[in-house]
Amino acid sequence: MSNGARAVRGLLVATGAVALAFTTACSGSSSSSSSSSTGDKVTLEFAQWWEPELPDGALQGIIDDFEEANPNITVNLLSGPYASTKEQVVAGAASGTMSDVVGLDGAWVSDFTEQNAITDLSTLMEEYGYDDSQLVSQVAIDGQTRMIPVVNFVYPLFTNDDLLAEAGVSAVPSTRSEFLDAAEKITALGDSTSGWILPLSLDAPNGVQNDVMSWVWASGGSMLDDGQPDLTNEAVTSGTEYIKQLWDAGVIAQGSFTMKEQDKVEEFTNGRVGMMIDSLAHINLIKEENPDLNFSISAIPAEDGYTGERGIPYASWGIGIAENSEHKAEAWKLVEYLMSADVNSELSTLANAFPGNTASTPDFSDSDPMFEEAFAIYQEGYPANEFVGLPVSEQLMRDYGEQLQLALNGDETVQEALENAQAKWVAEF
C-alpha cells in the first residue's frame, strides 16, 4: 500500500468513518416497540434526501411499519433532493428550527456540532441502554457521537455503454489516458454530447469531494499529511492537472461552475453525457427515469502505471437528532428502528448500499446486479473520504473549488491555485 493510501486509511480510522464491510454477527439490539414514554401523541419531522432516491413508497413503507409499532408517534417525512435538503437543514441549524430527525452528510457534522445544532447521540445511547457495538461506524467530534451512518455508498464510475460503443470505445477506461481518449471520442459524436460531467457549484461544493478529489484517492493519494492540509503534494497536483487537461480538451459538459449533483445525474440519465462519477444511490433513480439507458459501473481510473490499491470514494446516509427537538426520546426510537438489523438490511437492499448495522445483510437475490459489482469494486480497494469529520469541511471544499475554477478559467496556474487553496485550508484548520 502506498503512503498516500495509508494516510487515507488512517484518517478513516481516526474519524470513525465507515469501514464498508458485511459481517454475519448473530445478535443486535432491535428498536423498542413501545409507545411514547409519556403516553402522549408525538409528531416527529424527519428531513432527508433519501426518499427520492429510493423506489417509490419504500421509505414511507418503513415509516408506516415504525408507526404501527409505535402508535403514539407519527413521522412526517420532509423529502427533497440532496441540495435542497442541505439548504433546509443548514437554515434550520442556524435558526434553531431543525427537524427532529435529520439526514446528515458526514461533511456537515463538524459545522453543526460547532453550532450545537445536533445532539450528542452517545448520551442517548447510554441513557437507553443501546449496544453501539452493532454499529459499523459512528462519526464523533471530541468523543461524542453526532452522526450514525445508516447506509453507505461507494462512488464508482458510471458509463453510458451505448455512447461508448457508438464512439468506438471497446472497453470501459481503467487509466487516466484511457479515460481522456474515451471522453474525447464521445464528445466528438456531437449533438451536444460530452465525455464527462463535473459539478463545481460553490453553493453545494460536494463535487470537489466526489468528482475531483476522487481522482487523487483512486491512485492511492491523499490531500492530508498527518491530518493537516497538504494540497501541494505530488498526488493532488497530478490529479488537479489532470482535471485541467480534461477541461482544456473540451470534454467536460458546459455549465460546471454552477452545476450541482442533481444536474449531473439528470444529464447522464438523459443520455447527454458519456461518463460520470456518482453514488450507487442513484441507480434506481436513473433506471426509473430512463429504463432504456444502457449503463454500467466500474472503478475510477487510476494514474497510468499505478498498481496499488485504489481508494473508493464513499458517502453515507447519516442520521442525527436536532438539539432543538422537544422529542429526543421518540426521535431516538426512530433512529434505533432504522438501525435495527432487519430494517437496516431492508433499507440497504432498497438503496443498493452497504448496511450500517454489523448484523445486517442485504438481499442480493432481488437487488440490482450492480450492487454486487460495486461490492467487488470495494473489495479490491479501500474506502476513501478524507472530508468526513474535518472542521468546516464544506468550506474547505468551497475554498478548493474557488481556486480550481480560477485555474480552469486560465486566471491562475494549477500550482498557484493549489498554493492559494492550501493557505486557506491552513487558516481554516
pLDDT surpassing 90 at residue 166:
yes
How, if at all, do strands 382-384 and 311-321 pair? parallel
* 246: enclosing H helix or E strand: helix 234-248
Q: 104 and 170: one domain?
A: no
pLDDT surpassing 60 at residue 36:
no
Q: How many domains does the chain have?
A: 2
pLDDT surpassing 60 at residue 294:
yes
**pLDDT of amino acid 27:** 34
Q: 221 and 250: one domain?
A: yes
DSSP states along 397-424: HHHHHHHHHHHHTTSS-HHHHHHHHHHH
Mean pLDDT for 100-125 is 94
Q: 418 and 404: one domain?
A: yes
Q: Which pLDDT band holds residue 32 (cuts at 50, 70, 90)?
A: very low
Is the residue at 276 inside a domain? yes
pTM: 0.72
pLDDT per position as a tens digit, 167-182:
999 999 999 999 999 9
Boundary of a domain, candidates 354, 376, 398 = 376
Average the pLDDT over each of 9-13, 144-148, 257-261 and give the range with the smallest value. 9-13
**pLDDT of amino acid 411:** 97
Mean pLDDT for 263-280 is 94
pLDDT per position as a tens digit, 116-144:
999 999 999 999 999 999 998 888 888 89
**Domain region containing 393:** 157-313+386-428
Is the residue at 381 inside a domain? no
pLDDT surpassing 60 at residue 4:
no
Cβ count within 10 A of residue 80: 16
Is the residue at 285 inside a domain? yes
Q: Which of these, 343, 398, 368, lies nearest to 31 by C-alpha position? A: 343
pLDDT surpassing 50 at residue 29:
no
Cβ count within 10 A of residue 411: 11
Is the residue at 363 inside a domain? yes
Average the pLDDT over each of 63-77, 321-335, 375-389 and give the range with the smallest value. 375-389
Q: 188 and 145: one domain?
A: no
Q: Which pLDDT band holds residue 38 (cuts at 50, 70, 90)?
A: low
Q: Which residues share a beta bridge with 316?
A: 152
Q: 231 and 116: one domain?
A: no
**pLDDT of amino acid 39:** 65
Round to whole Å and give the CA distance between 199 and 401: 10
pLDDT per position as a tens digit, 202-245:
998 999 999 999 999 999 999 999 889 999 999 999 999 999 99
CATH number at residue 365: 3.40.190.10
pLDDT per position as a tens digit, 317-367:
999 999 999 999 999 999 999 999 999 999 988 887 888 898 888 776 776
Q: 163 and 147: one domain?
A: no
Boundary of a domain, candidates 339, 358, 376 = 376
Q: 309 and 319: one domain?
A: no
Q: 280 and 337: one domain?
A: no
CA quadruple 238, 240, 246, 247: dihedral sign: negative
Mean pLDDT for 391-399 is 90
- Per-residue buried b or exposed e for 198-234, using 16+ beta carbons within 10 Å of the residue's own CB: bbbbeebbbbbbbbbbbbbbbbbbbbbeeeebbbebe
Q: 187 and 286: one domain?
A: yes
Boundary of a domain, candidates 357, 376, 395 = 376
Between these two residues, 33 and 390, which has the higher pLDDT value?
A: 390
Q: Which pLDDT band holds residue 15 (cuts at 50, 70, 90)?
A: very low
Burial of 325 (0-12, 13-18, 19+ CB in 10 A): buried
Q: 237 and 291: one domain?
A: yes
Q: Where are the beta strands (DSSP E) in 260-407?
A: 273-277, 295-298, 311-321, 354-355, 382-384
Q: What percent of the chain has pLDDT over 70?
A: 90
Average the pLDDT over each of 27-31, 192-196, 303-307, 327-331 and give the range with the smallest value. 27-31
Q: 306 and 245: one domain?
A: yes
Is the residue at 409 inside a domain? yes
At 73 the three-state DSSP class reads strand
Mean pLDDT for 1-30 is 37
**pLDDT of amino acid 9:** 34
Q: 351 and 405: one domain?
A: no
Mean of per-residue pLDDT scores for the chain? 88
Q: Which pLDDT band holds residue 315 (cuts at 50, 70, 90)?
A: confident
pLDDT surpassing 80 at residue 26:
no
Q: Which residues share a beta bridge with 224?
A: 229
Mean pLDDT for 260-284 is 91
